[in-house]
Amino acid sequence: MSGTFVGMPAFPEAAREAVGDETLRGNLRHATHTIRDKRARAVAELDDWAALREAGKRIKDHTLRHLDRYLVQVEEAVTAAGGTVHWAADADEANEIVARLVKETGESEVVKVKSMATQEIALNEALQAQGIRAYETDLAELIVQLGKDRPSHILVPAIHRNRGEIRDIFRSEMSEWGRPAPENLTDTPAELAEAARLHLREKFLRAKVGISGANFVVAETGTLVV
């Protein structure tokens, strides 16, 4: 494959630059140790962690082997509950469907819950091309969006940023997207979270349309779990 994700440089070029970035390496080293420590504490709370993980893997593998059947079952359950299911053959068609649904509401702004699927299909860029502005509301995704960046991890999209960088991004970019960051904003986690909360609160109160992905879907009930 010669293509790259949404205009990113080829991997060898990007890797060469990243390996030479001491700040980035330090950020990832610190974040990785923090995440591993938290995971270890969570695992220690369960006596049957390994069995639960294996059970989850079996369910996932089974579902993927029979995905065609389960997708139809999801559609039937969602429809029975009063929802509407749209089918898309590829990313372009999916983006067109979402853009059309937003336009039908008459709105030009949407708020988004964290969704790696919409990152992969470049939904934000597609909406922007149709005059619709998408605001990320997950804290890490907000950092990525304000920094004109890309997610670097499926679970922790802003793992490559440290607190000082996040403070600088908030200070310089928040005003272009809405409520500006406080002038005396520091890099303490509490202040950064408060700045994000105040910034996003305006979006939540004003927005009429929301877009969300799903961590998984229960086929029997059509339930989307975020």
Write out pLDDT tens, residues 16-37. Answer: 888 998 999 999 999 999 999 9
Residue 177 lies in a domain: no
Query: Which stretches of the chain are DSSP H helices?
Result: 11-19, 22-44, 49-65, 67-80, 91-105, 116-120, 123-129, 139-146, 163-177, 189-206
Per-residue model confidence as pLDDT tens digits over 34-82: 999 999 999 999 999 999 999 999 999 999 999 999 999 999 999 999 9
Which pLDDT score is estimated for 5?
56
Does residue 29 belong to any structural domain of this protein?
yes
**What is the reported pLDDT for 137?**
96
Tell me the per-residue pLDDT of 94-142, one tens digit each, with 9 for 90 and over: 999 999 999 999 999 999 999 989 999 999 999 999 999 999 999 999 9
CA distances from 215 to 123, 223, 224, 226 (A): 18, 11, 8, 5
Give dist(CA 20, CA 117) in Å, integer.
30
Q: Helix, strand, or coil here: 112?
A: strand
Q: Do the domain assignments include residue 186?
A: no
Q: Is residue 23 part of a domain?
A: yes
The whole-number pLDDT of residue 6 equals 56
Residue 126 forms part of a structural domain: no
The answer to whether residue 123 is domain-embedded is: no
Total Cβ atoms within 10 A of residue 163: 14
Is residue 71, in this structure, part of any structural domain at all?
no
Structure tokens, 67: 């995905």
- Identify the band that residue 1 occupies on the pLDDT scale cut at 50, 70 and 90: very low
Domain that holds residue 57: 10-65
Domains of the chain: total: 1
